Structure 1
Amino acid sequence: MKIGLRTIKTAVSATLSMIIAGSLGLLYPASAGIISVLSVTNTKKTSLLTGLYRLLSLALATGIAYVCFTLFGFNPVAFGIFLLLFIPSAVYFKLSDGIVVSSVLVTQYLVEKNLSWAFIGNEFLLMTIGVGFALLMNVYMPDAEKRLKEDQEVIEVMFRKILNNMAAYLNQHGKERNLFEKCDDLKAFIRTGEAWAKTHAENHLLSSNDYYLNYFTMRRMQSNSLKDMLRILEKITVEPEQVESIQQLLEYTADTFAETNDGQAILDRIAQVYEVYRKKELPKTREEFENRAQIFQLLQVFHSFIQIKAEFSRHQNEKAL
């Protein structure tokens, strides 16, 4: 049995919440512990937002409960009417995350038959203590940056291998099927990195740290283009010298593929390859024409593939200014 960090945080925050609520002489101190259990999340940002939304949800619930219990008395029917009004209201105001917790606290108004300011303060203190300790426990979060950098390196190695294999298999019909599987593996790995990057970004409350999230999103977009290139590559069957310049372009891209490469040099080479094909003799047969069209389509998709990285680099440079 493995006890994770989040489990430890949950247990500690619940315990401290109950102790503090009890020491302040609040009624139902266990509720503070339960609120804390429900408020410990995976990131600092979600913990902060969860706490804020639950306090707002309790304010909404208290207002509706006051009207319902005043008009209909402290009884189950009044509570049912409260739920009929509170649940859609919470959804409308995007406070649905606090529906359960706030409803439980409202039952304490019902049990105590009490909606005095003192008892309302009791409930808000329970909520504040519970979400407060949950947020306090999330002040410490393991830094995922080392893992993100390692994932970047793995992804770039995977891209290089696929690009080199594409260069080797270009014009060799039927030998590139396993590249589709490699592309799928690459995309799955990128999505895992995106999830870690999102967590990393949400653990920085006072500063914007979305570089890694943007990076993995950019690589995911490139992986989509890579798969489109493979589909076109399957259809190309020409003499080896007809695709030599594209093979060299793919090999150069694989050799220089890196986080720091802004793609401009590759875009220049793509323009040169376009010019090479424009100067070639026009196709004489339908088959030659179709193959030439596939080659141009491959170049277009490849241009988009590199342009994605160039746009990413430009955007990052603008942010740094």
Structure 2
Amino acid sequence: MKIGLRTIKTAAAAPIALLIANGLSLESAASAAIITILTVTNTKRSTAKTALNRIFSLTLATIIAAICFSLLGFHPLVFGLYLLFFIPLSLRLDLAEGIAVSSVLITHYLVAGEMPLSLIFNEYLLMIIGVGCALIANLYMPNTEKKIQEDQMVVEVSMKKMLGQMSAYLNQPAKEEELRQECLSLRDFVREAQIRAQEYEENRFFSGNSYYFEYFAMRRLQLKILADMLQILNRLTAAPEDVQELRELFEFTSQTLAEDNDGSAILIKISETDRRYQQKQLPDSRQAFEERAMLFQLFQLFQDFIEIKAGFYRNK
């Protein structure tokens, strides 16, 4: 059984919240521990957002409860009326994650049969202690940047290898199908790496840099296009001389693919190759025409593949 860092933090922070609440002689002190358990998340930003939303949610809940209970009394049916107003307003104000916690705290007024300032202050202290312990627990986050950079290297090496194999396996449909499966597996890896990059960036409060997340988003788009290209290559049976230039383009790209490559050189080569294909004589058979159409589609997709990287380089 594997125990994650979030579990360890929660297990440490919740008892501390309970001890603090007990130390202050707060009523329903256990609620502080429950709030801590529900507030600890995977990143600093998400925990901070959850904490603020919970406090805003409690304020909204307290106002609605005060109106309902003062007008109609402290009755279970009135609590249901409170929920009829509180839940839709919370959803509208994007405070949904505070509905359950705030409503549990509101039941303390229902049990007490009154809403004195001392009890309201008690509920706010429970909330502040609970979310505060969660925030403190999440102040430490391991630096995952090295792992993300390793993920980048895996993606770079895999894509270069794949493009080299595409060059070598042109006109070999069985091999192209194998490559397509590799491409789909790499897309799954990149998706997971992008999640890690997002968590890394959300653990940095004062940085708006989303470079790693955008990098993996760019590679995911490229791999989607590669998968489309491999579907075409799986059907392509053109003459060797017709695919030679395409083979050279794949090989050149496999050698020059890199994080800091803006793609301008390969875009020029693609444009030149496309121009030469368009100057060739028109096919004299249906099969040759279909092969030419597939080649043209491949050039268009390959150009999109490179332009995605060029756009990323310009905007980074």
TM-score band by shorter chain is over 0.9
Gaps of 5+ in 2: none
Deviation sequence 1:272-300 (CA, Å, 0-9, x none): 21122133333222222221121111011
Cα distance change on mapping 1:13 and 1:173 into 2, 3 Å = closer
In 1: Cα distance, 2:9 partner to 2:209 partner: 24
Question: Secondary structure at 1:243's aligned position in 2?
Answer: helix
Equivalent positions of 1:1-321 (< 5 A) are 1-316=1-316
In 1: Cα distance, 2:278 partner to 2:107 partner: 78
Deviation sequence 1:94-121 (CA, Å, 0-9, x none): 1110011001100111111221222111
In 1: Cα distance, 2:308 partner to 2:270 partner: 14
In 2: Cα distance, 1:196 partner to 1:56 partner: 29
Which residue identity does 1:243 align to in structure 2?
V
In 2: Cα distance, 1:14 partner to 1:148 partner: 31
In 1: Cα distance, 2:16 partner to 2:234 partner: 63
Moved more, 225-234 or 168-177: 168-177
TM-superposed deviation, 1:4: 2.1
Deviation sequence 1:5-30 (CA, Å, 0-9, x none): 11121122112212222222322221
Moved more, 78-87 or 90-99: 78-87
In 1: Cα distance, 2:272 partner to 2:28 partner: 75
Which residue identity does 1:160 align to in structure 2?
K
Deviation sequence 1:180-201 (CA, Å, 0-9, x none): 2111101100111011011111
TM-score, with normalisation over the residues of structure 1?
0.95
Question: Secondary structure at 1:304's aligned position in 2?
Answer: helix
In 2: Cα distance, 1:173 partner to 1:55 partner: 60
TM-score, with normalisation over the residues of structure 2?
0.96
In 1: Cα distance, 2:282 partner to 2:73 partner: 89
Which residue identity does 1:131 align to in structure 2?
V
Which residue identity does 1:248 align to in structure 2?
E
Give the corresponding residue for 1:319.
none
TM-superposed deviation, 1:208: 1.1
Runs of 4+ aligned structure 1 residues displaced above 4 Å come to: none
In 1: Cα distance, 2:75 partner to 2:275 partner: 83
